[in-house]
Copies of this chain bind each other. A is one copy, B any other.
Amino acid sequence: MANPSILILAGDGIGPEVMAEVKKIIGWFGTRRGITFDVTEDLVGGCAYDKHGTPLHDDTMAKAQEVDAVLLGAVGGPQYDNLDFSVKPERGLLRLRKEMDLYSNLRPAQCFDALADFSSLKKEVVAGLDIVIVRELTSGVYFGEPRGIFTEGNERVGINTQRYTESEIARVARSAFELARRRNNKVCSMEKANVMESGILWRQVVQEIHDKEYPDVQLSHMYADAGAMQLCRWPKQFDVIVTDNLFGDLLSDAAAMLTGSLGMLPSASLGAPMANGRPKALYEPVHGSAPDIAGQGKANPIACILSFAMALRYSFDLGDEAARVEAAVETVLANGLRTADLMGPDGGTPVSTSQMGDAVVAAL
């Protein structure tokens, strides 16, 4: 059987630095566990624009469609801020999500014991927090047509379209219910059904899928503004949250920040199963490209390493190996190793990006 294949798109800013540490982990699996991945690398985002004039070359897109999993670092940087909308670094990422049809974005918001003091929230509010936001990732206002800036009379008008079909809602709802069954069996769905018809349809379809296919899962509905409030007040009331692309963008970033572990949080974007039974998949850290600290060895590689752990679990059915990586990260943190973003109230031993990666490999 062919080795499992991975396409690495390290991207911009701190992307290449944190990805270098993931490659060490991948290397370790080859030499120490006999699990060899066929790794190819390519460009996405600003660096792809610099080389090809587009944030994602068609060849790269084609490769992404063929591999078992894509690992992405981060895209974007101030030097690309004034590019035309159609070639901004973000368009590369959005094209991958859309064309690979990665409709289910899993964003765990987890508070690491060793870091509970880092949150701006009180320790008792976040300690032990472990929730997952399932964000719809291929539709909604991110992709709806018509869109653009038009002239009407003597002024400009900016237009975007929020658009959800029943089947788009149904498939991400199923993915949330499946996940909840493997966790604490609770799903909270968030929208603005009180002001948006797309929210009404969202609520109805989630409820229908629940009643027909997942009656055993506990389902509740919340308006997204109340959801933002409740995430700030008592996030532990949630298990799995399912929401649309735009609400998911804001709510998952807020939730990630609450944990105090922003440099620690991975994500998985999953699509339909391919011929080999594996889902189309892209894994990336929740943090961005952090251009202000790029190239200085300050970045925390753990979010990217944990994204690879998610790949082991969701793409390669290697749950035990994923747990091994996660345990190694816990060990390193418990030993007090801290990249710059983690230097805080509890002191600890300052380490660089690559020292952190080495320590995780050693702990494996």
Contact = CB atoms under 8 A, between A and B. Distances in A.
Interface centre among A161, A229, A232, A247 (most CB of B within 10 A): A232
Given A194-B88, A195-B90, A157 B162 contact: no
Number of copies: 2
B228 A254 contact: yes
A127 to B, nearest CB: 12
B233 A253 contact: no
A167 interface: yes
A290 to B, nearest CB: 12
A193 B79 CA distance: 16
Interface residues of A, number: 61
Interface string A176-210: 00000000000000001011111111100100000
Contact of A229 (B158, B200, B229, B257): B257
Contacts of A144: 159
A249 interface: yes
A163 B167 contact: no
A147 B163 CA distance: 9
A125 interface: yes
Interface of A: 76, 85, 88, 90, 94, 120-122, 125, 141-142, 144, 147-149, 152, 155-167, 192, 194-202, 205, 224-226, 228-234, 246-247, 249-251, 253-254, 256-258, 262
The 8 lowest CB-CB distance pairs between A and B, nearest first, are A158-B201, A158-B198, A225-B253, A229-B257, A155-B166, A228-B254, A160-B162, A232-B257
8 contacts: A85-B197, A141-B141, A142-B196, A149-B197, A158-B196, A159-B163, A224-B250, A254-B254
